[in-house]
């Protein structure tokens, strides 16, 4: 198995690892309907952008960065004195985060995690609302990780979309990794699912071409 440009990807390789190669070759998310979306791989490896800053300024520690990738957000929060822990299923992502001064665990968000029901902020950025292809299950799990006064900070798709399907990461020359479940949600879908799960959307904003929302546990009867 090789992961260099033009190489073949073994079926046993975690598909997420394809976007963590050191080369800046383009990587796409190939949807079941044939559409493909270019992944912002370079952004994930660089310092936080102005768009990211709008997320960071809304973070109250302790922060759990779900699907942290190379850890640009959790590392930046630590540098500002805000405790932040990343979690990611890809060992390479966790290694990159820790090598650059961050803290991360190689786990799924659905595994047992430290400080359950005590996190003040949980991040689902860079499309990570799609993890597992089941937004209801993911948000329900994150709600169980949050402190009663905690918040979920979510990045939604720029367009109004609600799609759950099997997808693949596609590298150079059309070579693909194995399929995995994923979801794409716009803000309208986020609002609807949040209401179904007794979350309030307490804030939403646009920065550049990116769209975000903050969710908190609904205060029933108040």
**Is there a domain that residue 211 lies in?**
no
Least-confidence region, from 34-43, 45-54, 114-123, 178-187: 34-43
Least-confidence region, from 17-26, 36-45, 98-107: 17-26
Summary mean pLDDT of the chain: 89
pLDDT of residue 221: 45
pLDDT of residue 176: 82
Least-confidence region, from 3-17, 133-147, 178-192: 3-17
pLDDT of residue 2: 25
pLDDT of residue 220: 56
Evaluate whether 187 touches 158 at the Cβ level (below 8 Å): no
**Is there a domain that residue 59 lies in?**
yes
Please give the Cα distance from 123 to 198 (Å, whole number).
Answer: 18
**Is there a domain that residue 220 lies in?**
no
**Is there a domain that residue 176 lies in?**
yes
**Is there a domain that residue 208 lies in?**
no
**Is there a domain that residue 62 lies in?**
yes
Q: How many CB atoms lie within 10 A of CB 186?
A: 16
Tokens (6 digits) for 7: 């190489």
Q: Summarize pLDDT for 131-149 with one digit per residue, the tens.
A: 999 999 999 999 999 999 9
Question: Whole-prediction pTM value?
Answer: 0.91
- DSSP calls for 199-218: EEEEEEEEETTEEEEEEEE-
**Is there a domain that residue 138 lies in?**
yes
CATH of the domain at 84: 3.40.50.150
Three-class SS state of 15? helix
Least-confidence region, from 62-66, 88-92, 131-135: 88-92
Number of structural domains, the chain? 1
Q: Which residue has the tokens 């929302």?
A: 213
Evaluate whether 36 touches 30 at the Cβ level (below 8 Å): yes
Domain span at 154: 15-199
Three-class SS state of 128? helix
Q: Which residues contact 95 (CB under 8 A, 6 or more apart)?
A: none
Please state the φ and ψ torsions of residue 193, each to the nearest 5 degrees. -70, -40
**Is there a domain that residue 53 lies in?**
yes
pLDDT of residue 6: 34
């Amino acid at each position: 198995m090789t992961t260099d440009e033009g190489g073949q990807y073994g079926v046993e390789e975690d598909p997420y690892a394809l976007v963590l190669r050191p080369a800046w070759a383009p990587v796409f998310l190939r949807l079941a309907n044939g559409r493909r979306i270019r992944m912002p791989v370079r952004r994930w490896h660089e310092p936080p952008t102005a768009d990211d800053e709008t997320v960071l300024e809304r973070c109250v520690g302790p922060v759990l960065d779900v699907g942290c990738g190379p850890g640009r957000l959790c590392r930046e929060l630590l540098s500002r004195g805000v405790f932040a822990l990343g979690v990611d299923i890809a060992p390479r992502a966790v290694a990159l985060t820790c090598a650059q001064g961050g803290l991360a665990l190689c786990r799924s968000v659905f595994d047992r995690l430290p400080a359950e029901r005590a996190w003040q902020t949980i991040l689902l950025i860079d499309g990570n609302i799609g993890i597992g292809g089941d937004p209801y299950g993911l948000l329900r799990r994150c709600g169980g990780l949050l402190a009663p006064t905690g918040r979920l900070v979510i990045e939604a798709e720029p367009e109004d979309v609600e799609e759950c399907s099997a997808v693949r990461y596609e590298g150079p020359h059309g070579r693909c990794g194995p399929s995995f479940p994923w979801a794409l949600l716009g803000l309208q879908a986020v609002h609807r699912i949040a209401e179904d799960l007794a979350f309030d959307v307490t804030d939403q904003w646009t920065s550049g071409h990116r769209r975000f929302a903050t969710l908190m546990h609904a205060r029933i009867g108040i």
